[in-house]
Amino acid sequence: MKVKLLSLCVCAAIVTSAQAADTKEQKTWDVTSEVGAIITSGNTETTTLKGGLKAKHHLENWHNEYKVNGIYKEDEIESDGRKIDKRTNEKYGLSLQGNYKLGTEGSHLFVLGSYVSDYFGAYRNEGLASVGYGLTLLDSDNMNLSFEIGPGMKWFEHGRDTKDKKGNLIEGQSDSEFVGVAKANYDWQISDNAKFTQLFAVETGSTNTKSISESALLTKINGSLQMKVAYNIIHNSDVDDSKENTDTETSLTLVYSF
């Protein structure tokens, strides 16, 4: 719902402001909030809201990450001679990851839990729990490259009007499978005011392989505020005939970080 995402955006702003007040005293937290909105009226009426909150917690032996995000889109369409508002996209995500630092510099063990609720995606709900090993391959003044790999268990719920290969309706039914999980992160600090990031992640099992890519460019507006342009791709190898294998998203948001 629109209210859910508005709450997320407000929460992101409140938490960020509260953390900013404690920045000088508490160096172990690194928090960023992301908010974007597009609202048009006149001949075409649409509403698009996007929000997110990411927190990194740096401890002596642990480096933890917490993420929550959401997007909501509503369009005005004509039905039976009258105009109505119709929801065309609604998606929420949550992930928690703990990284235990090993003796070798740049290496760690991780445990990850994530959940995605997507009203219009290839699957209605998805949950993932995994463990594994991570290593930093490159760590220079302006570049960082790291990867993670490990096994996991994935749960997913089939969406509206989904059918199996025999043509039987399986809407609302759930399945689970063991998966292999891999992720690579690349950060390039182009200049004092510009940064490029690239994320690639894959979850592969016996029934489906899900690939995720996010390319983003961040430009600094002032000391704490940045503008972010991002292009996201989500590809599922096995989906219902009524669904597309690939979803893409281009976004322009403001990011407050400290």
Question: Residue 205 pLDDT > 70, yes or no?
Answer: yes
Which DSSP letter does residue 170 get?
-
How many C-beta atoms lie closer than 10 Å to residue 10's C-beta?
Answer: 12
Residue for token digits 């690239």? 198
What was the pLDDT predicted at 5?
46
Domain CATH code at residue 79: 2.40.160.40
* Higher per-residue pLDDT: 160 or 232: 232
Residue for token digits 């993670």? 148
CA triple 91-7-257, angle to 5 deg? 90
Q: How far is CA 161 from CA 73, 115, 220, 235, in A?
A: 21, 22, 45, 20
Domain count, the chain: 1
Cα(197)–Cα(70) distance, rounded to whole angstroms? 20
Question: Residue 26 pLDDT > 50, yes or no?
Answer: no
Question: Residue 152 pLDDT > 60, yes or no?
Answer: yes
% of the chain at pLDDT higher than 90: 61
Cα(69)–Cα(15) distance, rounded to whole angstroms? 14
% of the chain at pLDDT higher than 70: 88
Structural domain for 243, as ranges: 2-257
Cα(178)–Cα(131) distance, rounded to whole angstroms? 12
Q: Computed from CA positions of residues 17, 186, 178, 210, in that sequence, does the dihedral angle turn out positive or negative?
A: positive
Question: Residue 53 pLDDT > 60, yes or no?
Answer: yes
Mean pLDDT of the chain: 86
**Secondary structure (3-state) at 116:** strand
Residue for token digits 């445990």? 111
Q: How far apart are the first and last CA of the chain?
A: 30
Side chain identity at 55, as an amino acid letter?
A: A
Side chain identity at 246, as an amino acid letter?
A: T
Question: Residue 183 pLDDT > 60, yes or no?
Answer: yes
What was the pLDDT predicted at 27?
66
Question: Residue 84 pLDDT > 90, yes or no?
Answer: no
The β-bridge partners of 76 are 85
What was the pLDDT predicted at 14?
47
Cα(223)–Cα(238) distance, rounded to whole angstroms? 44
What was the pLDDT predicted at 8?
47
